[in-house]
Structure 1
Amino acid sequence: MDERARTPWQALARGRYLRSAWPWRAAGYLAGSALTGIPVLLVLVLLTAAGATLSLVLVGLPLLALLGLVGVPAAAVERRRLRLVDHAPAGTPHRTPAEPGLLAWARLRYREQATWRELAHAVLHGFLLWWIDLVAVVTLLGLPLLLLTTPLQLALADNGAGAGAGEVKVVKLWLVTSYPVAFAVAAAGAVLLPALLYPLGALAGARAALTRALLAPRGRELQGMLAEVTRSRARLVDAFEAERRRIERDLHDGAQQRLVALTMTLGLARLDAPAGPLADRLATAHDEAGKVLAELRELIHGIHPQVLTDYGLTGALADIAERSAVPVTADLCSDLPRLAESVEAAAYFGVCEALANIGRHSGAARATVTARHTGAALLIEVTDDGRGGADPAAGSGLTGLADRIAVLDGTLTITSPPGGPTALSLEIPCPVTSSPTHRP
């Protein structure tokens, strides 16, 4: 077999078709069509007849509903048979139900276009295609094989009727009574066989292409894979945010409380200690514990700010604007709804990074933060009147910010000509998860 060829059409075009296994794979694929087409035809006819007859007493309605799913198992078998003549993977176009159970599976299948394409293929295959395949195999392969066996047929006729008295009618058309004629017919069959293997392979390639177009279209496979990647990425983002919240809660309720207790203990010991080296060391330890506590609080705030949890994105952005090193005008929508935690966190830290860059690099005298929700996406824009020239490749944190927004299928756009101004825009697709939150 030509290992480079993946379909009969490719093998036909490369000139090694007859020296490969492709002719016999094509013949096996077409001949096996009857093994699946006959059961499919019987099931379609029986379900339709029983459902139509019993629908008068409502018993047949489930049978008619079941008729819509006949193509699902039939298509699974056809995708496996497709490997005979098409080496490209033929994955299922169906999605995995989000919930377990037969009802969830059936509900999803009835809503998918792939189910109805598979039903159309089952009807076409059961009523037409397997007949065409069988006739093609009998005509293109059976006829030359029958011609090739003419001498054998004549010998069997001789043995049954006496020497010299046998005769055989080939294909019910030509009467052969002598061995020279029989061998001439066999020679014709030997010439005809390789010639007819070419249209046999072409037909098998056409049938495989039709099956793939209906049951495993490559474009829809890619769409399904991209959809699954998107869903899995969203699940990873949610899991990441949940882990961040858990770390924040553990630090807040555990390490921070212990540090507070330690700071209070050191402060009391410092008050009770007499003046001297011990008091100085206690004062140093008390100050260090206070600094560690302040750093831990900043770390907790950086993991997931409490203001974002308590007041939502509007309150959190207002808090950022008030704490910014550069004066900020916050134009925030007062009825901004509660969004997914991952979206709110990405928007919050995006604005934090933008304002931090303005304070460190832009030389701006003023900045503006605007936030709106269009019903389908969150839009945030941060502008400043600085010197401009912001370059994400310069290590300003914008690359990491863009990656974080991209995980949520969002986009980050930066306009920063030399001399300014600079405008950073965030757009994150997100549905509304709860009622609006108001600025505190």
Structure 2
Amino acid sequence: MNDHLAPALKDRRYLFTSWPWRAAGHLATVLLFAVPLAFVFWLTMLPWLIAGQRLIAGNHLGLIVFLFMALGLGLIGTVGPVVALPLAAIARRCLRLIDGRPLAAPRHPANAHPRDILFAESTWRAVLYGVVLSLVTPPLMVLGGALLALQVTLLVSPWLAEWTLGDVVINGGPGSVPFMLLGIVLIPAGLYLAGALAAAHGALSRKLLGNSGDALRNQLGEVAQSRARLADAFDAERRRIERDLHDGAQHRLTSLTLHLGMARLDVPADSPAAAPLTQAHDQAKELMVVLRDLVHGIRPQTLGDLGLPAALWELAASSPVPVAVDAAELLDRLPERIETTAYFVAAEALTNVAKHAHATSVQIRLTRSGHEGLVLEIQDDGRGGADPAHGSGLTGLADRVAAVDGKLLLASPAGGPTLLRVEL
């Protein structure tokens, strides 16, 4: 089954379906708002028509004509967008008669300023739709009215005493029966012509009144904001887990380790319980180290207390590859989301260097960009050839950076060096 009029016109059974009547109903509905719209538009453009006529005649334009011309443009530029938005909504509803495909209306953020809506691309596309409709309605009405009058005349010609076809005067009665038959034959052509006109209007409506580029940009902006909120929620959950482990599990494990150590002092060395107790104490101390590393991996306390440079220096001290940190420009704190992202990007990058790069040294540089911007550069002297497709963690880094609307750039030629630049 056809879901819109254009392919239905190609169907041989078109005349025996509901599409001709739906096309006619669509055109009649469009005329209800196209006629008054065209009347107001041409009334506004009347000074321009007068100016064109005077220029063709070789006459000068007076000041009054210029004023009315400017007034007409001003009305279109100010009142046009206000009228175009409800007009577009009505046109999209009328389109349902001949097109069953969904036509998404342009969306604007809930807190959008009226000025943003006024200057949106979708608004001026609706204005353009109204202008085109106003331009073509009068000539199409004249042409359609003439064809309809001719069709009716042909059909009722046998009952007319006398009628004219151009300069030819034709008597009614039996002599006009061939003209009546011609009128009957032309009915399908008229239905096809009306269907083609309705399909053309449907295509125009779908082209100009659909989901335009600015609405798509708004939706992408909403997606980016949603992604940022998810990243914030993830970081908040990370902080909660780190706090619960640090204040809960780690505290209890420390207490358990102390009690085991005190118990070892009270148990004689030759006692049967001495060896198991010593083993339990050693395992508890090892578990404390594991838990401390786990808490530090979730969110280092240094990052929250002392800031990003201190956290990077601590990270560099634990790296198996010598790391130099240059953060001379970073004297104050940055937004928490930026600092957290930069830290974990640096941590993952150093892990990649240790695993894959075969480097002997790494440099980390932090520089400011604007008021709240940060540029993080990590460079190693390894073998290069880093490729996100090889599972080196670069894709995860790019996703993390993109979640805070940042940018990740990588230069890693074969043979090195590798430079990872993150702009936040």
Whether TM-score is above 0.5 comes out as yes
- The residue matched to 1:379 in structure 2 has which SS? strand
- 1:34 — aligned with what? 31
- State how far apart, in whole Å, the 2-side matches of 1:171 and 1:250 are: 95
- 2:49 — aligned with what? none
2:117 maps to amino acid: R
Question: Aligned match of 2:384 in 376, 384, 388?
Answer: 388
Pairwise CA RMSD of aligned residues? 3.9
- State how far apart, in whole Å, the 2-side matches of 1:142 and 1:292 are: 96
- The residue matched to 1:382 in structure 2 has which SS? strand
Structure 1 contact 30–134 (Cα < 8 Å) conserved: no
1:386 maps to amino acid: G
- 1:77 — aligned with what? 90
**Shift in alpha-carbon separation, 1:139–1:334, aligned structure 2, 3 A:** same
Alignment of 1:347 onto 2:342: yes
- 2:151 — aligned with what? 144
- State how far apart, in whole Å, the 2-side matches of 1:259 and 1:117 are: 67
**Shift in alpha-carbon separation, 1:183–1:316, aligned structure 2, 3 A:** farther
- 1:433 — aligned with what? none
**Shift in alpha-carbon separation, 1:91–1:143, aligned structure 2, 3 A:** farther
Structure 1 contact 386–421 (Cα < 8 Å) conserved: yes
- State how far apart, in whole Å, the 1-side matches of 2:214 and 2:9 are: 28
2:384 maps to amino acid: G
* Count of residue correspondences: 387
1:379 maps to amino acid: V
Question: Aligned match of 1:95 in 108, 116, 128?
Answer: 108
Task: Spell out, residue by residue over 1:185-244, the C-alpha distance to the aligned partner (whole angstroms, 9 max, x if none).
Answer: 332222323333444334333323333343225545544443333333223222222222
- State how far apart, in whole Å, the 2-side matches of 1:363 and 1:76 are: 63
1:227 maps to amino acid: G
- State how far apart, in whole Å, the 2-side matches of 1:119 and 1:67 are: 6
- The residue matched to 1:381 in structure 2 has which SS? strand
- The residue matched to 2:379 in structure 1 has which SS? strand
Cα deviation for residue 328 of structure 1 reads 1.4
**Shift in alpha-carbon separation, 1:280–1:16, aligned structure 2, 3 A:** same
Task: Spell out, residue by residue over 1:15-51, the C-alpha distance to the aligned partner (whole angstroms, 9 max, x if none).
Answer: 776566544433222211133446878999xxxxxxx
2:352 maps to amino acid: N
Q: Which moved more, 1:263-272 or 1:66-75?
A: 66-75
1:92 maps to amino acid: A
Question: Aligned match of 2:117 in 99, 109, 116?
Answer: 109
Q: Which moved more, 1:255-264 or 1:129-138?
A: 129-138
Normalization by structure 1: what TM-score?
A: 0.72
- State how far apart, in whole Å, the 1-side matches of 2:422 and 2:116 are: 31
**Shift in alpha-carbon separation, 1:131–1:351, aligned structure 2, 3 A:** same
- 1:371 — aligned with what? 366
| Aligned counterparts, 1:240-389, within 5 A | 240-275=234-269, 276-335=271-330, 338-375=333-370, 378-389=374-385
- 2:66 — aligned with what? none
- State how far apart, in whole Å, the 2-side matches of 1:347 and 1:283 are: 42
Cα deviation for residue 132 of structure 1 reads 5.8
Structure 1 contact 260–293 (Cα < 8 Å) conserved: yes
Structure 2 unaligned segments of length 5 or more: list them: 42-76
Task: Spell out, residue by residue over 1:70-113, the C-alpha distance to the aligned partner (whole angstroms, 9 max, x if none).
Answer: 43333222122223344543212222314xxxxx6646534534
Structure 1 unaligned segments of length 5 or more: list them: 45-63, 99-103, 155-165, 431-440
**Shift in alpha-carbon separation, 1:316–1:117, aligned structure 2, 3 A:** same
Cα deviation for residue 255 of structure 1 reads 2.2
1:200 maps to amino acid: A
Give the fraction of aligned pairs with identical amino acids, expressed as a percent: 45
- The residue matched to 2:234 in structure 1 has which SS? helix
- The residue matched to 2:325 in structure 1 has which SS? strand
Task: Spell out, residue by residue over 1:268-320, the C-alpha distance to the aligned partner (whole angstroms, 9 max, x if none).
Answer: 33333444233433332232222222222222221222222233333322322
Task: Spell out, residue by residue over 1:344-378, the C-alpha distance to the aligned partner (whole angstroms, 9 max, x if none).
Answer: 33322221122122223333221111122322854
- The residue matched to 1:364 in structure 2 has which SS? coil
- 2:417 — aligned with what? 422
1:79 maps to amino acid: R
Normalization by structure 2: what TM-score?
A: 0.74
